[in-house]
């Protein structure tokens, strides 16, 4: 930042607009006044979408709003205050297009997102006070839209500079970042605590003094402590959890599939900012909100919707503050249910290959890498068992077994060469490659074996090279053919399969001509 201290441009009578209320995307911005500022010519930070600059106020600034009280008398309320030379941070969209009617455009999502998180933080603080919990307050910085007109027209997302060192407590996918801040004084024991030190939370009594229970798989000993001590780093994690389950903002949306009105769910995460010990509060900015509100990317590109909520909660471990707030334990977000919500193989590549403990154990016992399971799931030959379960046979012999949907992993093993000929669904040693003669018509089923004598070693060299080329060029077509043949009764689909076979064989003929 210091390198730009002597390179500032002054902007006079810049218009400043307050953030819209939570959920009011695309609303016309309300101007609250004009300010004189200077903005650094060079950005001290640059991201994929925005450049970040330092801004200072040229003089002390106070803005007021006049509103009528209950008796109809006009009253003035201070809506904005900044000291001379006070440092702020402004963010400018790299691709901004300023319209004449001052639409928020790119900054609209950011302003509404931060305002929504701020309202949720206020309600969270109120709940902690109601429960007499001695924990730091959570506060999001006020954000504004700043539009300059002299000497140039520009548009900025503006907020106060953080008072102390920047920190991050969790990410948008649930990763917890450990805090190095000292813990606050522990809160007083909850009212109604029994001799074991436990009390009723959320209508259910917590167990106490059970050595066999402490450190169970559901509640690890390091997370569930016998004295429920709330540490500073517990607050951001509990806040994120509460925003999803608590009574924060009462929203509803119309389910397009059923036509029914459903309660919307929000989860605030990517908690970052600073902890100010003197004020006993977290000063936060730039939140991410995942929403389940009937609209894709409602809170911007970082809003991953239901999948974002499930991914975050999948990794969340409830801490003492979660329990003192009466939040439900995270048992609703089971790994199998989390995986089943996803529809894209791109998103599930690292999720569906490790969904149950049995699968993890088999991976370790049989030295099967996760990457091998991913290859089997995406590019292997699909076989269906008599019970409906699926097997994905990878090119390296790894078999990845899933449920009927193919989204939840069950087990994994390596198929031995002799197993391939003894199984109920015979498959060639190299399953990704069709093996009809070049001049024959497209086969409709696997040809019977005509000879038990293995081919001599010299004859294998040329097919091996051909198969490697075919496997790299035709994985999708071959996978589709092998999985569809023998399992389809629909005549129209059979015609589509035949067309695919013909097209594949034409490519095989072209490839044969290269040897």
The percentage of the chain sitting over the pLDDT mark of 70, rounded to a whole number, equals: 56
Q: How far is CA 334 from CA 202, 315, 330, 405, in A?
A: 21, 10, 8, 17
Query: What torsion, rounded to 10 degrees, do the Cα atoms 309, 311, 313, 316 define?
Result: -140
pLDDT of the residue at 15: 92
Cα 138–chain centre separation:
22
The set of residues, in sequence order, having a beta carbon less than 8 Å from that of 346 and lying 6+ positions away, is: none
pLDDT of the residue at 337: 46
- Which tokens go with 379? 């590019």
- Which tokens go with 446? 């696997």
Q: For residues 120 and 448, which has the higher predicted lDDT (pLDDT)?
A: 120
Buried-exposed string 38-68: b where 16+ CB fall within 10 A, e elsewhere: bbbeebeeeeeebbbbbbbbeeebebeeeee
Q: pTM for the full model?
A: 0.56
DSSP state of 72: S
Query: What torsion, rounded to 10 degrees, do the Cα atoms 189, 190, 195, 201 define?
Result: -140
User: Average pLDDT of 107-118?
Assistant: 86
Q: For residues 104 and 159, which has the higher predicted lDDT (pLDDT)?
A: 159
Instruction: Report d(CA 116, CA 110) in Å as an integer.
Output: 10
Instruction: Report d(CA 310, CA 341) in Å as an integer.
Output: 8
Mind listing the pLDDT tens digit for each residue in 236-261? 999 999 998 876 666 666 565 666 66
Instruction: Report d(CA 120, CA 109) in Å as an integer.
Output: 16
Instruction: Report d(CA 360, CA 217) in Å as an integer.
Output: 15
Q: Closest by alpha carbon to 417, among 433, 431, 402, 437?
A: 431
Domain 167-340 -> CATH class? alpha beta
Are the beta carbons of 10 and 36 closer than 8 angstroms?
A: yes
User: Average pLDDT of 178-205?
Assistant: 42
Mind listing the pLDDT tens digit for each residue in 189-200? 445 444 443 433
Q: How far is CA 63 from CA 29, 147, 316, 389, in A?
A: 16, 16, 42, 67
Please report which confidence band the pLDDT of residue 292 belongs to, taking 50, 70 and 90 as the band edges. Answer: confident
Instruction: Please tell me which of 54-68, 125-139, 237-251, 291-305 the model is most confident about, judged by mean pLDDT.
Output: 125-139
Instruction: Report d(CA 195, CA 180) in Å as an integer.
Output: 33
Mind listing the pLDDT tens digit for each residue in 374-396? 888 888 888 887 777 788 898 88
pLDDT of the residue at 73: 81
Are the beta carbons of 400 and 392 closer than 8 angstroms?
A: yes
Instruction: Report d(CA 391, CA 368) in Å as an integer.
Output: 15
CATH topology of domain 2-115+139-160: Phosphorylase Kinase; domain 1 (3.30.200)
- Which tokens go with 138? 């959570």
pLDDT of the residue at 301: 82
Buried-exposed string 110-133: b where 16+ CB fall within 10 A, e elsewhere: bbbbbbbbbbbbebbbebbeeeeb
pLDDT of the residue at 508: 62
Instruction: Report d(CA 347, CA 370) in Å as an integer.
Output: 15
With residue 266 as reference, give the H or E element that holds it. Answer: strand 265-269
Instruction: Report d(CA 327, CA 127) in Å as an integer.
Output: 12
| Residue 109 phi, psi dihedral angles, 5° rounding | -60, -45
* Domain locations in the chain as residue ranges: 2-115+139-160, 167-340, 348-431, 433-445+459-515
Instruction: Please tell me which of 226-240, 333-347, 405-419 the model is most confident about, judged by mean pLDDT.
Output: 226-240
- Which tokens go with 85? 């030379």
Instruction: Report d(CA 370, CA 394) in Å as an integer.
Output: 12
Q: What are residue 272's DSSP bridge partners?
A: 168
pLDDT of the residue at 269: 93
**Which of the residue ranges 19-23, 413-417, 479-483 would you say has the lowest mean pLDDT?**
479-483
pLDDT of the residue at 18: 86
The set of residues, in sequence order, having a beta carbon less than 8 Å from that of 458 and lying 6+ positions away, is: none
Residue 166 has pLDDT above 70, yes or no: yes
Q: For residues 108 and 14, which has the higher predicted lDDT (pLDDT)?
A: 14
Instruction: Report d(CA 286, CA 278) in Å as an integer.
Output: 22
Q: How far is CA 65 from CA 28, 57, 111, 268, 281, in A?
A: 18, 20, 20, 30, 28
Please report which confidence band the pLDDT of residue 349 belongs to, taking 50, 70 and 90 as the band edges. Answer: very low
């Amino acid at each position: 930042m210091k390198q730009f201290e002597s390179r500032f441009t002054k902007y006079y009578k810049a218009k400043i607009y307050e953030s819209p209320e939570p959920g009011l995307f695309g609303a016309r911005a309300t101007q609250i006044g004009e300010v004189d500022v200077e903005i650094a010519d060079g950005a001290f930070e640059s991201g994929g979408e925005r450049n970040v600059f330092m801004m200072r106020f040229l003089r002390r600034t106070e803005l007021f709003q006049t509103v009528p009280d209950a008796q109809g008398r006009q009253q003035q309320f201070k809506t904005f205050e900044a000291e001379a030379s006070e440092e702020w941070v402004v963010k400018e969209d790299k691709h901004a297009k300023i319209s004449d009617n001052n639409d928020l455009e790119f900054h609209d999502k950011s302003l509404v997102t931060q305002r929504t998180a701020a309202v949720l933080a206020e309600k969270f603080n109120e709940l902690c006070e109601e429960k007499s919990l001695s924990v730091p307050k959570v506060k999001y910085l006020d954000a504004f839209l700043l539009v300059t007109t002299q000497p140039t027209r520009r548009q900025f997302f503006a907020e106060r500079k953080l008072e102390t060192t920047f920190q991050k407590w969790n990410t948008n996918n649930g990763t917890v970042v450990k805090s190095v801040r000292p813990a606050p004084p522990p809160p007083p024991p909850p009212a109604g605590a029994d001799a074991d030190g436990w009390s009723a939370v959320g209508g259910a009594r917590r167990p106490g003094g059970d050595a066999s229970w402490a450190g169970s798989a559901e509640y690890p000993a390091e997370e569930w402590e016998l004295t429920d001590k709330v540490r500073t780093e517990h607050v951001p994690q509990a806040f994120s959890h509460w925003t999803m389950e608590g009574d924060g903002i009462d929203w509803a949306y119309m389910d397009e599939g059923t036509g029914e009105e459903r309660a919307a769910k929000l989860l605030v995460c990517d908690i970052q900012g600073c902890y100010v010990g003197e004020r006993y509060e977290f000063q936060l900015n730039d939140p991410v909100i995942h929403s389940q509100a009937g609209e894709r990317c409602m809170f911007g590109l970082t809003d991953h919707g239901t999948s974002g909520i499930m991914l975050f909660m999948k990794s969340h471990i409830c801490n003492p503050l979660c329990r003192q707030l009466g939040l439900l334990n995270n048992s609703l977000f089971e790994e199998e249910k989390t995986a089943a919500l996803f529809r894209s193989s791109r998103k599930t590549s690292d999720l569906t290959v490790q969904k149950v403990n049995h699968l993890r154990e088999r991976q370790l016992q049989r030295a099967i890498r996760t990457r091998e399971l991913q290859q089997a799931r995406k590019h292997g030959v699909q076989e269906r068992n008599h019970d409906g379960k699926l097997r994905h046979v990878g090119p390296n012999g790894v078999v990845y077994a899933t449920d009927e949907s193919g989204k939840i992993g069950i087990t994994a093993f390596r198929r031995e060469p002799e197993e391939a000929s003894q199984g109920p669904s015979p498959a060639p040693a190299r399953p990704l490659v069709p093996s009809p003669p070049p001049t024959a018509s497209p086969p409709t089923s696997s040809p019977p074996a005509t000879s038990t004598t293995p081919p001599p070693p010299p004859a294998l060299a040329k097919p091996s090279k051909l198969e490697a080329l075919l496997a790299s060029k035709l994985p999708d077509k071959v996978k589709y053919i092998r999985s569809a043949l023998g399992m389809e009764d629909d005549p129209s689909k059979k015609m589509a399969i035949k067309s695919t076979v013909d097209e594949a064989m034409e490519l095989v003929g072209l490839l044969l001509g290269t040897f």
